[in-house]
Structure 1
Amino acid sequence: MRRKIIFSLLLLGDTIVVSVVPFLALLIRFDGDVSPFYYKQLLMYVPTIIVIQPLIFYWFNLYNRLWRYAGVDEILNIMAAVTVSSVALFGYIVLSPDYVYLPRSLHLLSWMMTIFFIGGSRLTIRFLYYYMLRQSKREARVQNVLIVGAGDAGAILAREINQRYFKEKKVVGFIDDEPSKINQYFLGTKVLGRRCEIPDIVEEHQVDEIIIAMPSAASAVIKETVWQCKMADCSAKIVPGIYEMIDGQESVQQLREVDLEDLLRRDPVKLDLENISSYLTGKRVLVTGAGGSIGSELCRQIARMAPSMLLLLGKGENSIYEIDNELKEKFGHITTEPIIADVRDAVRLQDIFAIYRPEVVFHAAAHKHVPLMEAHPIEAVRNNIFGTKNVAEAADRFGVKNFVMISTDKAVNPTSVMGTTKRVAELIIQNLSRKSATKFVAVRFGNVLGSRGSVIPLFKKQIAKGGPITVTHPDMQRYFMTIPEASQLVLQAGSMANGGEVFVLDMGKPVKIVDMACDLIELSGLVPYKEIDIKFTGLRPGEKMFEELLTAEEGSQATKHEKIFVANIKMADEKKLFDSLKRLQTITDKDRIIREISYLVPSYSGPNKESKKEEKVAELLDKRLAATMT
């Protein structure tokens, strides 16, 4: 009913406007001295005007829009509707058999005045709605918001706050380091200063909340901005980083607290979507370990490429159920098939491949927890080595086109059972690539932020309990990237496969674990070593002080993608590999397993070697300290 009333009022108003405007144009054209002859001629066309123009306005949807949110797009639409209707009307009048000359300027003036009155009527609706709601909420406490970043993201965010959230928030200003923007007005709001001036600006303008709207900013910039917010004792939120942005549209609902990923933010990945879609779009794609951190993100990224079917294979029923439901909700146009299976079951895998005939396989299923695999090497062998072998042989047998295995930097000069078994898995698929039509490749990368088993969730739990945070060593470093970034680069590497390559991702610079711990403590509003202590526990079994992506002997070759390289790795001796695998199938003794995988991977330094080395260094430091004290 309300819509009908609004429609009727708008139609009535437009009818009056288009009827009156030509006569007003005549008055302007002749400075008020209009011949009765022109009035008479114009009256002949009023019925035609009343029919043609509102009909075209209706065709341009001028009667079914929410004008209380009118903006530039709506004004452009009004201009288009009036222009088309004016041209149609001009053509009708000129071609009319009863046509009598009317001044051409009359049509131009009518066009301009119609745009003015029609556009003005719509903008009046917006201003009245805005004013009435402001008046109704005048007594309410509105939060003063300061936006850091006077760019595209800041503009979208400010518009959203001004149009939809003005009852709760008010943008009092922008912050930007670009000198040309300082003291200029951006969307009607002043750019108050630079990031280094945030504490003073917060105090002067009584800012309640700071929003960092720089989705592509480097980690150092975000970190410095967060520090300035902390100095100002003001809460800070952030627009999601580039890897979290799906459609490029920021909104207030997407804002979240600043997290560690923002402080370690990396440059956006540039993807060759044409090459990626060429081997995924319309294909049957299988992901093993689909419920895990990397596996589930691979599924999300693959779903965007519109495969004909996405097979979600994993042995954890809850995680597979969750990712399947998520994909059905977000990507209802694709077919997903959840499959509960264990990669160690070769017979079951053969059946799955025979039924579904996947064309592309991403093998992400693996045991990754280093200390646990040190304690249970037989499980690492069964899952990481023979699980990979089972999936790869099924892919070969049933003619899979592309097979991409997720590997790890821990496979390089491994000190752990987990890393060594992943290196053996690389050898298996490299060997298969020699004689198979399937393109087998592996992709190596380091740690991913937020994955299950990573240090970040552990640190957050320890902070919640009041500390201490436990770090193995003050000098321990790791490579880190976000889960979406790693997954996108894996898809890109798969598009480059010729068969047999081990791709290595550019992980950037390694990060000290203790620095990450300090950052997390500060993000929680606490002070490291004072309010939350940090304790060093020593290296755990199988852990390294530093991770490597390549051995000195391997080296690498560049690819056409700036963040993907190919390791120069020698192929394994096939007889040696298969003889050793046969022995591993029957071995259950821990020491014999260690000896066998050491035989397959000579660079494996054996259990606890790195830990013992660190223990000796610690003992030496203790002795020197004791000598100094005495």
Structure 2
Amino acid sequence: MALWRAIRDGLIFAACVWIAALARYDFAVSSPNYAGITVCSVIAFLTFVVLGGWLYGQGRYRRASGDELFGAGAVVAIAAGFMYLGNALVGAPRLVPASVPVSAGAFAIVAIAIVSWSLTTGRHRVRRQSGRSRRALIVGAGHHGMTAFRMITEDPRAEFVAVGFLDDDPNKRLLRVEGVRVMGTLEEMCDVAKRTGADTVIVAIRSFTSKAMQALVERAAEQGLEVKILPDIDAQQARHRGLGDKNAVALRPAGFRNVELNDLIGREPVQTDVDAIASYLNGKTVLVTGAGGSIGSFLCQQIAKYSPGRLVMTDRDESGLHSTQLVLEGQAMLTSDDLVLGDLRDPRFVRTLFKDVRPDIVFHAAALKHLTFLERFPDEAVMTNVGGSLDLLDAAVEYGVDQFVHISTDKAADPTSVLGASKYLTERVIAGIARSTGKDFMSVRFGNVLGSRGSVLGTFVAQAAAGGPLTVTAPGVRRYFMSAAEACELVLQAGAIGNAGETLVLDMGEQVLIEDLAKRVIALSGKPDVEIVYTGLREGEKLEEVRLAAGERDERPNHPFISQVPINPVDVERVRSLVANARTAGHTRNDEIRQELAALVRSTRALNVVQPQFGQGRTA
């Protein structure tokens, strides 16, 4: 292909030499030096075939770009120099008049530009008329809009063809790019889609607000348009930093992504101190529990960026560990010593794990988290969320772990559920052990994670795909949401800035109305007829969550979006007794265990604040 382009442009230049020479002689048949003109035209052609073939073949310039035209101009200048050299060598009569190489070169550059533009525009026109590619409107005619346009035009699969731009900037209303022009504003999207036959809208504006995105998605759904988004190329490439070149994933052309709930939630992700994160993880042996879960798996991916000496991952879910290794290494043979299958509720397994691994840092992500299940089986919550954590903490003290970061939940703030109480109690256990040992043991508290396994978002998506209805507990229910990347970076940041016994709490912005979340999922599903059904608040649920419990102070000494809350310790021996009771009683004494758990939660409050009883969330 490059050689043919060089031959094409060489022939254009050769023709321009003849035209310029004949024009110099006013097209008089008897006057020109035909032999000299022939020699110069051959010089023009061969120079382009040799140098132009190298120029195009190296992929140095994007096709039909100004840079490519500048490169062609350089080849023309070199060929003109050869012509002047030929004139000097042959003497009189000269091959061609002195003005010919310059005028022919100017004609050639203009002609090459016109031909290149015409062919490029023609290819776009053919693609638009062929019907094989999906017809796309690009929202935004700025820098990112041009990036989206190039991704489309240079895609060898020809998945999309651009049929127009949409932009609210009046200065761009007459803009035309390779035959594709700005067709109107965003408000005119539906009308423009009808005129152009577009079936896809590609958003290429980085500053697009969540409200604007939601409005666009709703209008697109009414028109039957699919919405795609230009990916953040830098962010996607950064995710693979530190995992090795063999794991780097290059973006394919036209790799536009679907709209995600992150685009509609309306929160700006909290920025973390990457340097601080890297410094304390570098070269250390790191243990991650619950590594097969959605949070644990993503946490392992984040940790791997910062060059730990060893990253050990444990879970009792073998399929989860398989998935985590596949993401990290591109293969999952499950033969690595860094993958450990076992149950953290078995104290013997925990001791053996710590004896073999000797971790410097532990990130504890293993937990039971389904609120309704744990209301029915409080003994399971105590054995896993409290007992498993306590065994890990004992082993961490015995084997000299420097830092222990426990992943908690916003339901631990003034808990009204068994889930919240079990995590709240674990926070207090950590505070007690940290105070008695001086170890940097701490907790991190955050809300719902978008896309995590078992989250309300996944439930809504599955329900919408099945045709509905979407089940919402009650009107007015609100929850905090954050991305998995943001949650995991907060966990890592905790180890860098947290103090012994503290719970670090992210400022997650405004809570999201679950009804709105359901409506957004319906809009994204393309099924506007899906209904929303209210099921009522379940036992232990709150109408709204809170970041901080009553009496906890919102102090942010090290990060503007992270509260560092000193936690009052609990009598650890009483907690051990509760765990032992749960392990021996089975499901036969659930009411007794629930009451003990509630009593322990209330007993840990140092301030004179009345604690809500479990179940009050139903009437909140």
Q: What band does the TM-score fall into relative to the shorter chain?
A: 0.7 to 0.9
CA–CA distance in 2 between the matches of 1:243 and 1:600? Answer: 50
CA–CA distance in 2 between the matches of 1:115 and 1:582? Answer: 92
Comparing 499-508 with 352-361, greater Cα deviation is found at 352-361
Q: Which amino acid aligns with 2:440?
A: K
Q: Which amino acid aligns with 1:503?
A: L
Q: CA RMSD in A?
A: 4.7
CA–CA distance in 1 between the matches of 2:399 and 2:113? Answer: 63
Q: Which amino acid aligns with 2:143?
A: D
Shift of residue 596, structure 1, vs aligned partner: 2.2
CA–CA distance in 2 between the matches of 1:265 and 1:454? Answer: 18
Q: Which amino acid aligns with 1:562?
A: P
Alignment counterpart, residue 563 of structure 2, candidates 538, 562, 565: 565
Does residue 605 of the first structure (1) align with residue 607 of the second (2)?
A: no
Q: Is the 8 A contact 1:312 1:336 kept in 2?
A: no
Q: Is the 8 A contact 2:190 2:219 kept in 1?
A: yes
Does residue 173 of the first structure (1) align with residue 164 of the second (2)?
A: yes
Q: Which amino acid aligns with 2:144?
A: A
Comparing 435-444 with 113-122, greater Cα deviation is found at 113-122
Alignment counterpart, residue 556 of structure 1, candidates 554, 566, 580: 554
Q: Which amino acid aligns with 1:314?
A: D
Look up the match of 1:246: 236
Gaps of 5+ in 2: 17-42, 86-99, 239-250, 606-610
Q: Is the 8 A contact 2:415 2:614 kept in 1?
A: no
Shift of residue 505, structure 1, vs aligned partner: 0.7
CA–CA distance in 1 between the matches of 2:150 and 2:275? Answer: 34
Where 1:326 maps in the other structure, the secondary structure is helix
Look up the match of 1:316: 317
Look up the match of 1:363: 364
Shift of residue 480, structure 1, vs aligned partner: 1.2
Shift of residue 406, structure 1, vs aligned partner: 0.9
Alignment counterpart, residue 581 of structure 1, candidates 576, 593, 603: 576
CA–CA distance in 1 between the matches of 2:156 and 2:617? Answer: 56
Q: Residues 81, 11 of structure 1: CA spacing in aligned structure 2 closer, same or farther, 3 A cutoff? A: closer
Q: Is the 8 A contact 1:276 1:495 kept in 2?
A: yes
Alignment counterpart, residue 191 of structure 1, candidates 182, 185, 203: 182
Q: Which amino acid aligns with 1:219?
A: S
Look up the match of 2:515: 514
Look up the match of 2:404: 403
Look up the match of 1:280: 281
CA–CA distance in 2 between the matches of 1:133 and 1:165? Answer: 13
Does residue 444 of the first structure (1) align with residue 451 of the second (2)?
A: no
Where 1:434 maps in the other structure, the secondary structure is helix
Q: C-alpha offsets along residues 231-277 of structure 1, whole Å, 9 cap, x if unaligned?
A: 4x131222167699413878522332x34333214213323221121
CA–CA distance in 2 between the matches of 1:436 and 1:327? Answer: 35
Look up the match of 2:204: 213
Q: Residues 13, 538 of structure 1: CA spacing in aligned structure 2 closer, same or farther, 3 A cutoff? A: closer
Where 1:519 maps in the other structure, the secondary structure is helix
CA–CA distance in 1 between the matches of 2:314 and 2:574? Answer: 30
Q: Residues 219, 414 of structure 1: CA spacing in aligned structure 2 closer, same or farther, 3 A cutoff? A: same
State the TM-score, normalizing by the size of structure 1. 0.75
Q: Is the 8 A contact 2:285 2:311 kept in 1?
A: yes
Q: Residues 134, 55 of structure 1: CA spacing in aligned structure 2 closer, same or farther, 3 A cutoff? A: closer
Shift of residue 339, structure 1, vs aligned partner: 1.6
Shift of residue 491, structure 1, vs aligned partner: 2.2
Does residue 292 of the first structure (1) align with residue 290 of the second (2)?
A: no
Look up the match of 2:20: none
Look up the match of 1:303: 304
CA–CA distance in 2 between the matches of 1:503 and 1:149? Answer: 39
Where in structure 2 are the equivalents of 1:44-443 lying within 5 Å?
Answer: 63-65=57-59, 69=63, 71=65, 139-164=130-155, 167-185=158-176, 189-231=180-222, 233-239=223-229, 245-247=235-237, 251-256=253-258, 258-329=259-330, 337-436=338-437, 438-443=439-444
Shift of residue 555, structure 1, vs aligned partner: 1.8
Q: Which amino acid aligns with 2:591?
A: D
Q: Is the 8 A contact 2:166 2:182 kept in 1?
A: yes
Where 2:504 maps in the other structure, the secondary structure is strand
Shift of residue 414, structure 1, vs aligned partner: 0.4
Shift of residue 472, structure 1, vs aligned partner: 1.6
Q: Which amino acid aligns with 2:153?
A: N
Q: Is the 8 A contact 1:75 1:119 kept in 2?
A: no
CA–CA distance in 1 between the matches of 2:103 and 2:167? Answer: 39
Shift of residue 141, structure 1, vs aligned partner: 4.6
Where 2:165 maps in the other structure, the secondary structure is strand
CA–CA distance in 1 between the matches of 2:391 and 2:260? Answer: 39
Gaps of 5+ in 1: 22-46, 94-108, 615-630
Q: Residues 206, 343 of structure 1: CA spacing in aligned structure 2 closer, same or farther, 3 A cutoff? A: same
Q: Residues 317, 342 of structure 1: CA spacing in aligned structure 2 closer, same or farther, 3 A cutoff? A: same
Look up the match of 1:101: none
CA–CA distance in 2 between the matches of 1:425 and 1:370? Answer: 16
Where 1:263 maps in the other structure, the secondary structure is helix
Q: C-alpha offsets along residues 74-132 of structure 1, whole Å, 9 cap, x if unaligned?
A: 6788899999x99xx9xxx9xxxxxxxxxxxxxxx999999998999899789768867
CA–CA distance in 1 between the matches of 2:269 and 2:199? Answer: 31
CA–CA distance in 2 between the matches of 1:476 and 1:151? Answer: 39
Q: Residues 70, 392 of structure 1: CA spacing in aligned structure 2 closer, same or farther, 3 A cutoff? A: farther
CA–CA distance in 2 between the matches of 1:12 and 1:205? Answer: 37
Look up the match of 1:617: none
Look up the match of 2:29: none
CA–CA distance in 1 between the matches of 2:573 and 2:73? Answer: 75
Q: C-alpha offsets along residues 427-448 of structure 1, whole Å, 9 cap, x if unaligned?
A: 1222222244642221111111
Shift of residue 133, structure 1, vs aligned partner: 9.4
Shift of residue 408, structure 1, vs aligned partner: 0.4
State the TM-score, normalizing by the size of structure 2. 0.77
CA–CA distance in 2 between the matches of 1:478 and 1:350? Answer: 38
Shift of residue 12, structure 1, vs aligned partner: 9.8
Q: Residues 149, 16 of structure 1: CA spacing in aligned structure 2 closer, same or farther, 3 A cutoff? A: closer
Q: Which amino acid aligns with 2:184?
A: G
Shift of residue 318, structure 1, vs aligned partner: 0.5
Q: Which amino acid aligns with 1:471?
A: V
CA–CA distance in 2 between the matches of 1:282 and 1:72? Answer: 48
Shift of residue 411, structure 1, vs aligned partner: 0.3
Q: Is the 8 A contact 1:156 1:251 kept in 2?
A: no
CA–CA distance in 1 between the matches of 2:562 and 2:496? Answer: 12
Where in structure 2 are the equivalents of 1:460-471 lying within 5 Å?
Answer: 460-471=461-472
Q: Residues 331, 156 of structure 1: CA spacing in aligned structure 2 closer, same or farther, 3 A cutoff? A: farther
Where 1:246 maps in the other structure, the secondary structure is helix
CA–CA distance in 1 between the matches of 2:224 and 2:466? Answer: 24
Q: Which amino acid aligns with 1:266?
A: R
The alignment-based identity, stated in percent, is 34
Q: Residues 451, 55 of structure 1: CA spacing in aligned structure 2 closer, same or farther, 3 A cutoff? A: same
Q: Residues 584, 386 of structure 1: CA spacing in aligned structure 2 closer, same or farther, 3 A cutoff? A: closer
Q: Residues 178, 361 of structure 1: CA spacing in aligned structure 2 closer, same or farther, 3 A cutoff? A: farther
CA–CA distance in 2 between the matches of 1:480 and 1:185? Answer: 41
Q: Is the 8 A contact 1:580 1:596 kept in 2?
A: no
Comparing 534-543 with 464-473, greater Cα deviation is found at 464-473
Where 1:190 maps in the other structure, the secondary structure is strand
Alignment counterpart, residue 537 of structure 1, candidates 535, 538, 541: 535
Q: C-alpha offsets along residues 575-596 of structure 1, whole Å, 9 cap, x if unaligned?
A: x232332343234222332232
CA–CA distance in 2 between the matches of 1:423 and 1:402? Answer: 19
Look up the match of 1:26: none
CA–CA distance in 1 between the matches of 2:186 and 2:110? Answer: 39
Look up the match of 2:23: none
Shift of residue 415, structure 1, vs aligned partner: 0.7
